[in-house]
Structure 1
Amino acid sequence: MKLSIRPDAVLVQAVIAGALSFAHLHDLAQAAGQTGWKAWAYPVSVDLLLAAAWRRLRAQRSRLAWCWFVVALVASLGANIATAGFLDMNHPPALLRLGVAGWPALAFLGGTLLAHQHTDHTPEPSSVPAPEPRPVVAVDRPETPEAVSEIPEPGPAPALPKAAASVPPALIDHARKVATDHRARTGADIDAATLRARLGLPEDLALAIVAQLA
C-alpha cells in the first residue's frame, strides 16, 4: 500500500507563521536581557499558553479562556511588531524589560487557571425512544330508561328560616345596629353565627333575626 503525501497550503502557511512568530519572540526576549536557553523558553511559553487557551475555548466558551487567549495573542503580536523596527533592539525600553521579566509568572498563572477550570458536561439525551402511549378506546354504552330513571332528581332548595313573630322589636333594633357596625368594619353583611356570638342568642333566634334584617 502506497502512501501519497499531498502538500496542504494551510498547514504550510501555519508552519511558516509559527516559525516566524517563534523567532520574533526569541529575539525580543534576547534583546530584553534573557540569554541562552531562557530566550528560547519564552516563545515556547507564549505559544503553549495560546494553544491551551484555544483548546479551552473549543471545549467551553468562558471569559477566562477568552482572557488568556487575548493575553497570549497580544504577547505574540507585540513581539512581531517590536522586532519590525519599531523598537531599538540594542537599547530596549525599561517597560519592555519589565514585561519580559514578569511574563513567566503571568504565563504560569494563566496555565494553572486554564488547567483547573471546570468544564460543564451536558448529559446527552438517551437514545432509547420513549414508549408511545396506548390509544384509549372509548366504549359507547347505550343509555337505558332504567339507568336514566335511577338518577335522583334535585330536590327543592331549603327555605330560609322565617323570622319568628316572638322576636322583640327592641332586640331587632339592637341587632340592626350591630349589623350596621359589622358592615361598616368589614364591608359585608353579618351572618347568623357572628350575630349569635355578638349577642349570645340561640341559633334559631339568630337565624330569624338575620332573615328579618335581610
Structure 2
Amino acid sequence: MRTHGMRLDPVLIQAAIAAALSFAHLHDLAAAAGQDGWKAWAYPISVDLLLVAAWRQLRSGTAKAAGWCWFVVALVASLGANVATAGLLDLGDVPAWLRILVAGWPAVAFLGGTLLAHGTPDVDEAPVPDQDEASAPPVTPAVPELPASDPQPVAPPAAAPVPPALVALARKVADDYRTRTGTDIDTPTLRTRLGVPLPLAEAIAAQLA
C-alpha cells in the first residue's frame, strides 16, 4: 500500500513562526511588567484568542462593528508588545503606565470575549428566512365575499308625451277607419296613416283605447 507523505504548506509555516514570535514577545512584556509565573504565559494566549474571536466574528458577517473594534484592540496589543520588545523599551525598568495597561488587560479581554460571544446582530442586517419558510408557497389573503344584492326591478320607460292636437287627429283617423271598415284601427295602420315612429304610435293608440 502506497502512502503519501505530509505536504508542508509554506503559509501555515509562516503563520506558525509569526504566532510563536508574537507569543514570545507578549510573554516577555508581561513578565517585565510584573506578571510572573503562569500569568506571563496566559497573556499571549488571551491576546491571540481575542484576535481570533474577533476575526471569526467578522467572517460570520454578524455584529461587524463589534468585530472590528475588538480586532483592532487585540492587534494593537500584539503589535505593541512586538515593538516594545524590539529594544525601544528597557524591559528592566518598565514605566508605570505600561504596567497599568498590562495589569488591566484581563478585564478588557474578558469584556471583549463576552461581547463577541453574546453580541446582537447589526440592525441593518435582515434575518435569513428558514429553509422551510423560504420553500413554502406564498399565502394568498382570502378576499371576503360580498353579499349578493337583490336585483332591483327596472321600471318601464315612460311613454312619450303626445301633443293633444296629434291625439285629436289620430282619433279622427280612427273614427274614419271604423266607419269604412267596421273595425278598430290597429297600431301599424295608425302609424302609417299618421307617419309617426312606432313608439309614438303605440302611445297614441293607448290614449285612444
TM-score band w.r.t. shorter chain: 0.5 to 0.7
For the residues of structure 2 that align with 1:5 and 1:100, how far apart are their CA atoms?
A: 40
Indicate the residue corresponding to 1:75 in structure 2.
77
What pairs up with 1:1-214 in 2 under 5 angstroms?
Answer: 2-60=3-61, 62-119=64-121, 121-123=127-129
The amino acid that maps onto 1:77 is L
For the structure 1 residues 129 and 102, does the alpha-carbon distance in structure 2 shift closer, same or farther, using more than 3 Å as the test? closer
Between stretches 21-30 and 114-123, larger displacement belongs to: 114-123
Q: Rg bigger for which structure?
A: 2
Residue 122 of structure 1, CA deviation: 1.6
Structure 1: segments with no counterpart, 5+ residues: 132-214
For the residues of structure 1 that align with 2:129 and 2:73, how far apart are their CA atoms?
A: 32
TM-score by length of 1: 0.57
For the residues of structure 1 that align with 2:84 and 2:45, how far apart are their CA atoms?
A: 18
Residue 128 of structure 1, CA deviation: 5.4
For the residues of structure 1 that align with 2:8 and 2:21, how far apart are their CA atoms?
A: 20
Indicate the residue corresponding to 1:144 in structure 2.
none
For the residues of structure 1 that align with 2:32 and 2:45, how far apart are their CA atoms?
A: 17
Residue 4 of structure 1, CA deviation: 3.0
**3-state SS, counterpart of residue 26 of structure 1:** helix
For the residues of structure 1 that align with 2:18 and 2:37, how far apart are their CA atoms?
A: 23
Q: Deviations over 1:132-181 (max 9, x none)?
A: xxxxxxxxxxxxxxxxxxxxxxxxxxxxxxxxxxxxxxxxxxxxxxxxxx
For the residues of structure 2 that align with 1:20 and 1:33, how far apart are their CA atoms?
A: 20
Residue 56 of structure 1, CA deviation: 0.6
Residue 95 of structure 1, CA deviation: 0.9
Residue 124 of structure 1, CA deviation: 6.1
